[in-house]
Amino acid sequence: MIRFLRMIWLKRYWQFWGKLTGLLLILTSLIAAYWWFYKLAPLVHVADPRWVDVHSEKARWLEEQKDYKRTGRYPDLFFIGDRIGYYGDKVWFLWLVDKAAKDKFRVCGCTMTALALMSNQDTNSWVEWLKTNRTRTQEEWIQDGFSKYGVSVHFPPSTNDVEPLLKIIGGKTWNFLVGGPQGTNAPDAIPSYVQYNAFRWLRDSGFNPVSFAVSNATAVAPNNLTVALIRYSQWEGRFPPRNGLGVLSFGAKPETMPLPMILELRSLTVVYTLITVPLLAGIALVFFSCRKNHQPNQVPDSTNAV
């Protein structure tokens, strides 16, 4: 009896439950599409070497920024090769510190390295560090980082900064990402994040390594600046000034090339007008012609018959 009543109930309401199930399936599909084509799309792009190979460094950095904003993901400098530490400004530094202060955000070596690269600093508590440094500029943070290694640089940059910064680049290195904080392991080594900031301070000041080597040929070798110039060239090959990414406030931004005339709005308007107007006009003519041909034959007026 219960089975019979259940069958009657299902038969009566099957249309309602069928519609409800269909709507839920559609909603599930839309949610999955939203996550795949919007939320996770930037992460898929930057993690796909095929996508990276055919897109510029600027496009890659733009996708990485979208990924952070959409998913709140922590940096991955090791496996995915995130650039936030190299290209991030003060805004991104503060964003990352605020995210790292939350319990559910993973703080790993990549996160600490990204913060060190952006600030030229290393501390046990970034929250405490920001209490006295939040109002200062990123350039001031970087200057303070150099002072810990006995180097004082000018703002705006001066030619007197060149040799001291080259000595930082050419000094004994310490891979901060892989090796972590120095501690007592290499007290005389300079962390990689300090060497990177020395490189970009020189790069953004307009430093020319070839001109410097030619003008200081007798001073380069004795002061072991040869290694520094080689390392500088390696950094420059990886982060060239022409891409305009991670450039400090005093650096020259690359000029934006104007769009060719064929891509200007007026040209595109003419092109799309020439495409759409004749198409719509032709469709309209065909439609009305067919409609005229299918009209019923009119019966002649008998009053006019002879």
pLDDT at 97: 94
260: confidence class by pLDDT, cuts 50, 70, 90 = low
What percentage of the chain has pLDDT greater than the value 90? 36
pLDDT at 271: 72
User: If you average pLDDT over residues 113-134, what whole number do you get?
Assistant: 94
Cβ neighbours of 187 (radius 10 Å): 8
Q: Which of 173-177, 207-211, 236-240, 280-284 shows the lowest per-residue confidence on average (mean pLDDT)?
A: 280-284
* Tally: H helices and E strands in the chain: 16, 2
Q: What are the pLDDT digits (tens) for 177-201?
A: 987 777 656 778 899 999 999 999 9
CA distance linking residue 89 with residue 109, whole number of Å: 19
Question: What burial class does residue 210 get, using C-beta atoms within 10 Å of its C-beta: 0-12 exposed, 13-18 middle, 19+ buried?
Answer: exposed
Q: Are 172 and 186 in contact (CB under 8 A)?
A: yes
Answer with the residue of higher pLDDT: 152 or 3.
152
CA distance linking residue 207 with residue 200, whole number of Å: 10
pLDDT at 37: 87
Q: What are the pLDDT digits (tens) for 4-20?
A: 556 665 566 656 666 66
CA distance linking residue 23 with residue 249, whole number of Å: 53
Is pLDDT above 80 for 302? no
pLDDT at 306: 46
Stretch (H or E) spanning 18: helix 2-34
Residues 6+ apart with CB under 8 A from 120: 141, 142, 144, 145, 146, 193, 194, 197
Answer with the residue of higher pLDDT: 132 or 30.
132
What percentage of the chain has pLDDT greater than the value 70? 78
Q: What are the pLDDT digits (tens) for 203-239?
A: 999 999 888 887 776 665 556 677 888 888 888 888 8
pLDDT at 280: 74
Stretch (H or E) spanning 59: helix 57-71
DSSP codes of every residue in 89-111:
-HHHHHHHHHHHTSTTS---HHH
Answer with the residue of higher pLDDT: 124 or 225.
124
- The DSSP symbol for 124 reads S
Q: Across 20-34, 134-148, 260-274, which has the greatest mean pLDDT?
A: 134-148
User: If you average pLDDT over residues 164-184, what whole number do you get?
Assistant: 85
Q: Which of 65-79, 221-235, 292-306 shows the lowest per-residue confidence on average (mean pLDDT)?
A: 292-306
Q: What does the mean pLDDT of the chain come to? A: 82
User: If you average pLDDT over residues 21-45, what whole number do you get?
Assistant: 84
Ordered by start, the domain boundaries in the chain are 61-243
Question: What burial class does residue 59 get, using C-beta atoms within 10 Å of its C-beta: 0-12 exposed, 13-18 middle, 19+ buried?
Answer: middle
pLDDT at 218: 63
* SS3 per-residue string spanning 155-199: CCCCHHHHHHHHHHHHCCEECHHHHCCCCCCCCCCEEHHHHHHHH
Q: Across 40-49, 63-72, 243-252, which has the greatest mean pLDDT?
A: 63-72
Closest Cα partner for 207 from 176, 250, 271, 173?
250
Residues 6+ apart with CB under 8 A from 215: none
